[in-house]
Amino acid sequence: MNPSIQQINSRIQPLRQQIINHPIYAAIDSIDDLKIFMQYHVYAVWDFMSLLKSLQQSLTCTTVPWYPKGSADTRFLINEIVVGEESDIDLEGNRKSHFELYLDAMQQAKADTQPVLDFIQHFLTSGQLSNSFQLAGTPAAAANFVTHTFDVINSKKDHLQAAVFTFGREDLIPNMFVSMVNDLNQTSPDNISIFKYYLERHIEVDGDHHSHLAIQMTENLCGTNTAFWQEAEEAVVASLEQRLALWEGAYHDILAKKSELAINV
């Protein structure tokens, strides 16, 4: 393995363990708990696509007239990832982006999709993140998470975006969470079957094949530039710190809801 990749993996291992072993997973033991989690996590699903499309715009030609931009190997890597993320299949075999599939899962579970849809609409109209968060009532932890992602996008540094995409966003779903979802699906398949399918697709496609492609893309972009690798490492650490803060926000909301229910019993 590339020594720089090994260095990043070593540096972020403690943060990854904090995320994978976060108490939020044990706290989710009902559909109502899962709905709160989804109402936070959906922002990460959405801005993941924004990060991906930013990379596609930087690394491939998306304008007319077309010309062969950059490395053909990198073009292949990013375009293959885009195809899988932007036009996968749902349970019925219909083409869906992973974000649209996630919205379907939220609707099935009766989680509230309106805040994130309102945020996206406001953002598309105004181009202003902070105002869009305020108008949509976006939770602070989700707003901070998305803001950081767009800071990375707006850096216009391909190697930073690729590193955050590769190490900060993939392969962070622990087995215990998947087991919990499977258990809930046994008792409430009409509420959670789409979310279960989403996780399975995420693990099958994003956590395996796409992660290998993304590592190769990051290696191609950083090359032998020591400064690029150092910048990439710091950006990945910051990204994982934001993911941890996102989990904290959802976790505290779940605990607050449980406490409220206990008082009202």
Structural contact between residues 142 and 43, judged by C-beta atoms closer than 8 angstroms:
yes
> In whole angstroms, what is the distance from residue 263 CA to residue 265 CA?
6
| pLDDT reported for residue 145 | 97
Q: What is the pLDDT of residue 222?
A: 94
Please choose, from the candidates 261, 32, 217, 232, the residue with its C-alpha nearest in 3D space to the C-alpha of residue 152. Answer: 232
Residue 192 has a pLDDT of 93
> What does the CA dihedral 16, 210, 161, 98 come to, rounded to 10 degrees?
-90
CA distance 99 to 107: 12
Q: Enter the pTM of the model.
A: 0.93
> First and final CA of the chain: distance in angstroms?
55
What was the pLDDT predicted at 170?
57
What's the rounded Cα separation, in Å, for the pair 70 and 99? 28
| Full pLDDT tens readout for the chain, 265 residues | 789 999 999 999 999 999 989 999 999 989 999 999 999 999 999 999 999 999 999 999 999 999 999 888 889 888 988 998 899 999 999 999 999 999 999 999 999 999 999 999 999 999 999 999 999 999 999 999 999 999 999 999 999 999 999 888 756 777 778 888 888 888 888 899 999 999 888 777 655 667 777 888 899 899 999 999 999 999 999 999 999 999 999 999 999 999 887 786 5
Q: Which pLDDT does position 176 carry in this prediction?
A: 72
